[in-house]
């Protein structure tokens, strides 16, 4: 008996994690792939003439079992992995890649789709149906349906190799992250660190059966250390450990994998008739072409770099005045930026953290969703989870209708990759009159509670939680007919709008007073601190934009260049990012070799989308500001035209239906204060 292949007789049809063993996965994948192939055969062998229902609709509803198993397995591989799960991933990924190619290169299936597509003008299709038809037809063409048999086989080989290379890349990053630890036994080496940071490091050491304190490359450990440690040599060690973790020439080195991935992506794009991987990807994004992306990034660079240089000089001068530091290095950036922030605004994260107890912040983001979209959240205790840290909630509309099941996994552990993300365990779609509601996950890495303190978040972590919950709302409020167009299945440069717009509420007094309570006294965050948060909102903003541009330009460089001409990962990265460099380069550090977003996480040729979507979110939030941040009418418009519609229409059309106009391209620069700062920096 394989629980993955049986009906889940669980509350809300949730995943029975405790019944699933690793040995169940590969047989389940094999069986589900076979079942999905039968469903496709049923479509291609249908004696009836092709039409929308028996071809496009049938195809979109096919493979649900395989989709569910994949969601479960790959969520575990990210959030609760092990050597055994990673080995299974290496075995099943080529099978999934082969199956995907079997569908995409199925000539009989493509001909049926083409027949319907060629007759589309005579069909009375809804907007969503038109989108499904067009996206499927273009997907088949863009993925090799019109190639000859030799080229189709080449494409299959490339995709198998890419699948394996991406997996190995991610496994190396996780292993290298877990491999390093800074073990401190001398109390003097803790100078500058807040008590909460030291408590967490002591707990980590105890868990590893060691004395003293242990700091790791997990963000809740790394970032506070780089921000507060006054022991410069140890900041340097941590910085270099993080920057070089998959760039050491050892068994976890990713340099050859990076070169192989970009080579294979380039070959794949050329095979399909595109000059580069970026050209292939961007054809189906709002930006539409590499030239448009580069123009967007270069414009931001032009306007942010002079201000960022001013910011660097301010921090550098401050470090020299404070400690006589002659040359500011990257491992000094967070430390002295934070010190200068304290001086300028009388504000630091340690002042704010007592007001941001994790449980209160979660309740706060729930309350905001209630005010905006009429949602209610009820914690459940009868839902099976994959780890004891995971909390589950039932989400309903105020009329009692089920919206979604929400899983919240907030603390780091050895089997979880770094960062924060949203994903789904079960898709939303409507079939046979039944609206299948989604099961949505948020996974983050916030400091665990200690014996003396609860989990207290930095303000940056608060915005991260809101960001990921914005993605979760996009998934939870999905209300489309077809699974492939549901939820976050939208253009990559549109998907960040729901996440980034929600961050804005973190800076509003009306919102903060819903959840920012001192964990000991229960006192609401003082207005004085709120004003300091708002006043410091644009502090080092140009530097942050420049950092994002660095990542975006790195991504575009890798995916527009001819990889045959690239011999050194490090040299190529340095040339690609020279225009964004303000701090001195660190010998031995390399970002590309651990750039999981583009080499594992699906953001290849898409990292620019964070900034692209910030333009949308800055413009969209202006409408809320003009009408009240909890205005139910504006909230309903955002839900009805953005959050619920998924990829059923072109995103610009959806945006205009919400906003009433196209976005103001200067909205981001205005919000970041860069227009005024640029004037000051250039005069």
Catalytic residues: 468
| Spatial separation of the C-alpha atoms in residues 469 and 474, rounded to whole Å | 9
DSSP secondary structure letters along 619-682 = HHHHHHHHH-TT-HHHHHHHIIIIITTTTSS-HHHHHHHHHSSPPPTTHHHHHTTHHHHHHHHT
DSSP 508: -
Find, among 571, 664, 558, 572, the residue nearest to 619 by Cα: 664
Whole-angstrom Cα Rg for the chain: 25
Query: Phi first, then psi: what are they for 197, rounded to 5°?
Result: -65, -40
CA torsion 446→447→448→450, rounded to 10°? Answer: -160
β partners of residue 378? 394
Query: Phi first, then psi: what are they for 435, rounded to 5°?
Result: -90, 100
DSSP secondary structure letters along 298-361 = HHHHHHHHHHHHHHHHHHHHHHHHHH--SS--HHHHHHHHHHHHHHHHS--HHHHGGG-BHHHH
Find, among 249, 155, 261, the residue nearest to 563 by Cα: 261
| Spatial separation of the C-alpha atoms in residues 561 and 276, rounded to whole Å | 7
| Spatial separation of the C-alpha atoms in residues 162 and 485, rounded to whole Å | 25
From the centroid of its chain, how far is CA 95?
26
DSSP 561: S
| Spatial separation of the C-alpha atoms in residues 459 and 529, rounded to whole Å | 12
Residues near 516 by beta carbon (within 8 Å), at least 6 away in sequence: 355, 356, 360, 364, 524, 525
Residues near 641 by beta carbon (within 8 Å), at least 6 away in sequence: 654, 655, 657, 658
| Spatial separation of the C-alpha atoms in residues 19 and 512, rounded to whole Å | 41
Can you give the length of the chain in residues?
683
| Spatial separation of the C-alpha atoms in residues 668 and 615, rounded to whole Å | 5
**What is the three-class DSSP state of 464?**
helix
| Spatial separation of the C-alpha atoms in residues 460 and 482, rounded to whole Å | 36
| Spatial separation of the C-alpha atoms in residues 602 and 596, rounded to whole Å | 9
> Alpha carbon of 360 to those of 363, 415, 421, 464: distances in Å?
5, 26, 20, 15
From the centroid of its chain, how far is CA 390?
19
Find, among 335, 309, 311, the residue nearest to 322 by Cα: 335
Count Cβ atoms below 10 Å from residue 83 Cβ, excluding itself: 10
Find, among 141, 34, 153, the residue nearest to 96 by Cα: 34
| Spatial separation of the C-alpha atoms in residues 390 and 316, rounded to whole Å | 43
Residue 249: which region, alpha, beta or left (left: phi > 0; alpha: psi -120 to 50)? left
Tokens of 31: 């069986």
> Alpha carbon of 48 to those of 42, 63, 112, 370, 435: distances in Å?
11, 21, 11, 48, 28
């Amino acid at each position: 008996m394989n629980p993955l292949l049986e009906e889940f007789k669980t509350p809300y049809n949730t995943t029975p994690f405790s019944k699933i063993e690793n040995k169940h996965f590969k047989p389940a994948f094999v069986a589900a792939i076979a079942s999905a192939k039968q469903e496709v055969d049923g479509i291609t062998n249908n004696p009836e003439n092709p039409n929308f229902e028996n071809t496009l609709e049938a195809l979109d509803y096919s493979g649900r079992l395989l989709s569910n198993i994949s969601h479960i397995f790959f969520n575990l591989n990210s959030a609760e992995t092990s050597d055994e799960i990673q080995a299974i991933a290496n075995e099943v990924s080529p099978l999934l890649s082969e199956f995907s190619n079997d569908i995409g290169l199925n000539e009989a299936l493509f001909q049926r789709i083409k027949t319907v597509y060629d007759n589309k003008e005579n069909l009375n299709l809804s907007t969503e149906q038109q989108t499904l038809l067009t996206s499927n037809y273009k997907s088949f063409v863009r993925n090799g349906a019109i190639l000859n048999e030799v080229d189709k086989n080449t494409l299959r080989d490339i995709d198998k190799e890419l699948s394996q290379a991406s997996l190995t890349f991610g496994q190396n990053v996780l292993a290298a992250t877990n491999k390093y630890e800074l073990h401190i036994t001398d109390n003097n080496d803790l100078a500058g660190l807040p008590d909460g940071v030291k408590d967490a490091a002591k707990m980590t050491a105890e868990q590893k059966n060691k004395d003293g304190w242990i700091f790791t490359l997990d963000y809740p450990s790394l970032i506070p250390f780089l921000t507060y440690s006054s022991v410069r040599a140890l900041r340097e060690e941590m910085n270099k450990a993080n920057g070089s973790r998959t760039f050491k020439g050892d068994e976890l080195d990713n340099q050859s994998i990076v070169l192989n991935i970009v080579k294979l992506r380039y070959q794949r794009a050329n095979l399909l008739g595109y000059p580069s991987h970026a050209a292939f990807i961007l054809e189906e994004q709002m930006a539409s072409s590499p030239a448009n992306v580069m123009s967007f990034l270069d414009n931001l660079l032009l306007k942010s770099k002079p201000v960022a240089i001013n910011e660097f000089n301010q921090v550098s001068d401050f470090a020299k005045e404070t400690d006589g530091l002659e040359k500011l290095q990257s491992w000094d950036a967070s430390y002295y930026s934070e010190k200068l922030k304290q001086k300028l605004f009388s504000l630091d994260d340690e002042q704010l953290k007592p007001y941001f107890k994790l449980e209160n912040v979660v309740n706060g983001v729930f309350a905001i969703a209630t005010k905006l979209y009429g949602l209610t959240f009820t914690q459940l205790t009868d839902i099976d989870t994959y780890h004891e840290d995971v909390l589950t909630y039932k989400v309903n509309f105020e009329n009692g209708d089920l919206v979604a099941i929400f899983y919240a996994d907030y603390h780091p552990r050895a089997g979880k990759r770094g960062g924060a993300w949203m994903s789904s365990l079960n898709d939303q779609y409507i079939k046979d009159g039944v609206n299948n509601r989604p099961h949505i996950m948020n996974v983050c890495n916030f400091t665990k509670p200690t014996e003396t303190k609860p989990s207290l978040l930095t303000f940056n972590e608060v915005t991260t939680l809101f960001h990921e919950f914005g993605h979760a709302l996009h998934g939870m409020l999905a209300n489309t007919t077809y699974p492939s167009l549901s939820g976050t299945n939208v253009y990559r440069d549109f998907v960040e709008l729901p996440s980034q717009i929600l961050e804005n509420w973190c800076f509003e007094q009306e919102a903060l007073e819903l959840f920012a309570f001192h964990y000991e006294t229960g006192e609401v965050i003082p207005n004085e601190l709120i004003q300091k948060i708002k006043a410091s909102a644009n502090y080092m903003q140009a530097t942050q934009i420049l950092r994002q541009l660095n990542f975006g330009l790195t991504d575009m460089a890798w995916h527009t260049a001819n990889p045959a001409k690239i011999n050194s990962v490090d040299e190529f990265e340095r040339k690609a990012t020279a225009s964004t460099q303000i701090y001195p380069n660190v010998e031995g550090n390399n970002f590309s070799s651990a750039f999981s977003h583009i080499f594992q996480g699906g953001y290849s040729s898409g990292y620019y989308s964070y900034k692209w979507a910030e333009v949308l979110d800055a413009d969209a939030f202006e409408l809320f500001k003009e009408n009240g941040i909890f205005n139910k009418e504006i909230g309903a418009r955002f839900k009805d035209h953005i959050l619920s519609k998924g990829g059923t229409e072109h995103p610009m059309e959806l945006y205009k239906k919400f906003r009433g106009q196209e976005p103001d391209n200067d909205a981001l620069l205005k919000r970041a204060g860069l227009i005024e700062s640029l004037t000051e920096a250039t005069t």
